[in-house]
Structure 1
Amino acid sequence: MTAETIIAVDTRINARWVIPIEPAGVILDHYAILIQGDRIAGMVPQQDADHRYHARETIDLPTHVLMPGLINMHGHAAMSLFRGLADDLPLMTWLNDYIWPAEGKFVDASFVADGSRLAIAEMLRTGTTCFSDMYFFPEIVAETAYDTGIRAQICFPLLDFPTVWGAGPDEYLAKGANLIDQWSDDPYIMPAIGPHAPYTVSDRPLQRAIQLASDKNARIQLHLHETASEVADAIEKTGKRPTSRMMELGLLTPRTQCVHMTQMDDTDLSCLVDSGAHVIHCPESNLKLASGFCPVHRMQQAGVNVAIGTDGAASNNDLNLFGELNTAALIAKAVSQDATALSAHQALAMATLHGAKALGRDHELGTLEAGKLADIIAIDLSDPFSQPIYNPASHLVYSDRGRDVSHSWIGGVPQLQDGRLTRVDVPDLMLRVASWANRIRAGSSD
């Protein structure tokens, strides 16, 4: 009889519970996750790990649950500096009278750098390890995310009119093509195309975006069917629902991410199913702006992949994805009038595996499996007011445990240790945020 071979790994994490996401609905007790380099080397019962693995570092988390890092599939990171600037307003009033004027006055490269770092700090602190962003100066957002070590899909903006980032579609597309080339095949930064919405981008720029996406194998993310008035206005002007127009143009494909989709009829659902496009649900932003309810349960039953996002902090007003899951699960039950709709486990999958599918990276993100990237978070469930714990998955969704995230690793690199951010200088960041707040207060009162 030969002695069992001992496998050397970089890190061993022992936890009370592990939720791997796949197989669906599974909760593992007293398991260890082994990390070697940037990958998960194994996931075994702790007693087996004692005999089979030797780790350079062992982390004991006896009151924690481990799960894949959360994927926030839609937001406008730099808009964190506009948090609370214009609340309790309908969408178009909020945009036309407050947000767009404020952007024209304040947004530049330094605003985007500081606002994005603030957003990244908040997301890391509450369990997000990958986010999708659609905002001006995407090259700055990409560099900021890369420097911090968080994964990000960076969608460059495309609109018919001039903005602080460019004169129009020609410049946006030229800059965007360069962004895609710069970050091609990077494991952290995933450049994508971000047409703002059907009502702000005409057919010709959209057709060029579709061709660019095909040429570069890039994803497209756009706001679609966010409000009833958007759909009604489109029908009045074009005779078509926006989803039908996008389908006819060829924009809806398995590389497309449709954000919001609060308005949906049978034709819209058929377009989504037939095209293989993904939907990004932003429940709290939709509630706050009175935009409507995304029929998540109906779409999931039809086979549409639905992921989740926070939207920007100017319309949410936080980037805590666990809170978003809580809201999403409750809304799904009320909208479908079915208490079984969007269960706790399904909600967790929406924020992990479904986001990875929308990114086209479910082969290496979204679940805890040997060989996948070690993007992992730990949530401490020792809070006295969290007790007793019968089902940790239910606790994560229905009790909003975002603030209880204690550790995170992205590609095996610690990003959060005992609640402390390892790669963000928080005191310096707070000074920068305070400076921006003073400028915005003074400028908004002019």
Structure 2
Amino acid sequence: MSASRQPIDTLILPRWLIPVVPAGAVLEGHALAVDGGRIRAVLPADEAAARFAARETIKLPRQALIPGLINAHTHAAMNLMRGLADDLPLMEWLQEHIWPAEGRFVSEGFCADGVQLAAAEMLRGGTTCFNDMYFFPDVTAATTARIGMRAAVGMILIDFPTPWASTTEEYLAKGQQVRDAYRDHPLISTNFAPHAPYTVSDEPLRAVRTRADEMDLRVHMHVHETAFEVEQAEQQDGRRPLARLADLGLVTPNLLAVHMTQLTESEIEDCARAGVHVLHSPESNLKLASGLCPVAKLLDAGVNVALGTDGAASNNDLDMIGEMRTAALIGKLAAGDAAALPAATVLQMATLNGARALGLDADTGSLEPGKWADCTAIDLDTPETRPLYDPVAQIVYSSDRRQVTDTWVAGKRLLRDRQLTTIDLDDTLARVDHWQAALGKA
């Protein structure tokens, strides 16, 4: 190596580099310099060659390099329930099929195998970070950390006993143990995850609010998912769920409100004023006929809207590239405006907005110096994405997750030329066969 050049780990040379900041920017002839897992510089390729001596230079002449996609809402272990109870409304799906199956089968082994399957799917589709809500969050954290992926793990809370915990005190105590174990982990963060207003009563929610305020942690919760949920809440205590959460002190910048398909104009204004983050899961909302989130109105009001897939049991995939296209198209329909939710905005929802929602935007969500090198390469030189006039629009409207060739988390290449490097796919699928046989006989 030349003494005049700085030694670094990796230099990535894509055809197009899309940093997300500024929105819509597309850099050609640029390089991403990575060292110690973090982005050292984004600069023209000739300057990079003169400035750095990389141990590995990766040329991607067909690819666009984007920040790793952030799945802002999912239930990773539920990948093992993909297709288990399709074509049903939400409450029938939950009460008559999913909750009984969880009671019989959810365990540490179930969650470890389900999360590994989910991680394989997400990494192959360009997702580098996910925000999870499910039982055995300790197992989710351990499995994800072993694979090398990034995750925000929810400390689940629900009013009834489950295989994870039986009482509010046990849910909170076990959640705290997960929090303590991963407090300083570079890949794993934690948040509170009370399931929904209709499954968590006031006292547990007050406890969550107190602890979230003390620890400055996010509160990840399904809110206003269906008209039935809102109507039932109004009948039972005269308040809409958001109003109840506000009375409990939970409508704050720490609230991650999932779905939000049923919103009044005043509720949108309240969320903007309070700094609430909305986690939009369009395909799950469509499949369960839950409703349409007014994304354009939320964005116009200044609300941060991130994008998530929900779980594979209700989507039925964890495909963030597909989710972007769906979000853009139904966002335009809901707004009655073809100019609503342009491609650059939707890509930001799937990356930087997700990082902001999770409180991780100082470390990930865009390709900027100082952030972790979480990034995804997408092959755009395919019949399905040619001719190419605008790479950002092509990614959102024309691309497919099978075009993802490489995925990095903290500078480590977890998907190399479409091959997973930290997950044994054959072993994973053998484990899936076991669970399919068990659940299929239930």
In which range does the TM-score fall when normalised by the shorter chain?
over 0.9
Report the equivalent of 2:387.
388
Report how far residue 109 of structure 1 moved. 0.8
User: 1 CA distance for matches of 2:186 and 2:8?
Assistant: 22
**What SS does the corresponding residue of 2:84 show, helix, strand or coil?**
coil
Report the equivalent of 1:12.
11
**Aligned pairs (5 A) from 1:264-303:** 264-303=263-302
User: 1 CA distance for matches of 2:200 and 2:110?
Assistant: 25
**Aligned pairs (5 A) from 1:118-133:** 118-133=117-132
User: 1 CA distance for matches of 2:99 and 2:3?
Assistant: 64
Report the equivalent of 1:368.
367
Give the partner amino acid of 1:243: L
**What SS does the corresponding residue of 2:257 show, helix, strand or coil?**
strand
User: 1 CA distance for matches of 2:156 and 2:266?
Assistant: 28
**What SS does the corresponding residue of 1:16 show, helix, strand or coil?**
strand
Report how far residue 280 of structure 1 moved. 0.1
**What SS does the corresponding residue of 1:124 show, helix, strand or coil?**
helix
What are the Cα deviations for residues 9-33 of structure 1, in whole angstroms up to 9, with x where unaligned? 1101111101100011110112111
1:348 aligns with 2:371: no
Report how far residue 210 of structure 1 moved. 0.8
Report how far residue 63 of structure 1 moved. 0.7
Report how far residue 52 of structure 1 moved. 1.8
% identical aligned pairs: 51
Q: How many corresponding residue pairs?
A: 441
1:243 and 1:271 in contact (8 A); partners too:
no
1:32 and 1:43 in contact (8 A); partners too:
yes
Report the equivalent of 2:378.
379
Report the equivalent of 2:23.
24
**Aligned pairs (5 A) from 1:94-173:** 94-173=93-172
What are the Cα deviations for residues 248-275 of structure 1, in whole angstroms up to 9, with x where unaligned? 1111211110000000002321221121
Give the partner amino acid of 1:22: V
User: 1 CA distance for matches of 2:103 and 2:169?
Assistant: 20
User: 1 CA distance for matches of 2:136 and 2:237?
Assistant: 32
Give the partner amino acid of 2:356: K
Report how far residue 195 of structure 1 moved. 0.5
Report the equivalent of 1:397.
396
Report how far residue 124 of structure 1 moved. 0.5
Report how far residue 5 of structure 1 moved. 4.2
CA RMSD of aligned residues (A): 1.2
Report how far residue 185 of structure 1 moved. 2.7
**What SS does the corresponding residue of 1:339 show, helix, strand or coil?**
coil
1:251 aligns with 2:250: yes
1:223 and 1:259 in contact (8 A); partners too:
yes
Give the partner amino acid of 1:306: V
1:313 aligns with 2:312: yes
- More displaced, 165-174 or 324-333? 165-174
User: 2 CA distance for matches of 1:4 and 1:372?
Assistant: 26
How does the TM-score come out when normalised to structure 2?
Answer: 0.98
User: 1 CA distance for matches of 2:326 and 2:215?
Assistant: 36
User: 1 CA distance for matches of 2:403 and 2:359?
Assistant: 29
User: 2 CA distance for matches of 1:247 and 1:271?
Assistant: 10
1:4 and 1:52 in contact (8 A); partners too:
no
1:324 aligns with 2:323: yes
- More displaced, 247-256 or 92-101? 247-256
User: 2 CA distance for matches of 1:267 and 1:48?
Assistant: 51
User: 1 CA distance for matches of 2:363 and 2:113?
Assistant: 30
How does the TM-score come out when normalised to structure 1?
Answer: 0.97
Runs of 4+ in structure 1 deviating by more than 3 angstroms, as ranges, are: none
Report how far residue 179 of structure 1 moved. 1.3
User: 1 CA distance for matches of 2:94 and 2:16?
Assistant: 44
1:244 and 1:271 in contact (8 A); partners too:
no
Report how far residue 359 of structure 1 moved. 1.0
What are the Cα deviations for residues 128-164 of structure 1, in whole angstroms up to 9, with x where unaligned? 0000110011110010001011110110211111111
Give the partner amino acid of 1:299: L
User: 2 CA distance for matches of 1:4 and 1:112?
Assistant: 50
What are the Cα deviations for residues 369-427 of structure 1, in whole angstroms up to 9, with x where unaligned? 11111111111112223211111111111013311111111111110100000000000
Give the partner amino acid of 2:107: D
What are the Cα deviations for residues 196-221 of structure 1, in whole angstroms up to 9, with x where unaligned? 00011111000001111122222110
Give the partner amino acid of 1:171: E
Report how far residue 8 of structure 1 moved. 1.8
Unaligned 5+ segments in structure 1 are: none
User: 2 CA distance for matches of 1:182 and 1:20?
Assistant: 33
User: 2 CA distance for matches of 1:218 and 1:48?
Assistant: 41
2:385 and 2:399 in contact (8 A); partners too:
no
**What SS does the corresponding residue of 2:364 show, helix, strand or coil?**
coil
Give the partner amino acid of 2:110: F
2:384 and 2:399 in contact (8 A); partners too:
no
User: 1 CA distance for matches of 2:181 and 2:210?
Assistant: 18
2:406 and 2:413 in contact (8 A); partners too:
yes
Report how far residue 351 of structure 1 moved. 0.6
1:72 and 1:351 in contact (8 A); partners too:
yes
Unaligned 5+ segments in structure 2 are: none
Give the partner amino acid of 1:368: L
2:380 and 2:399 in contact (8 A); partners too:
no
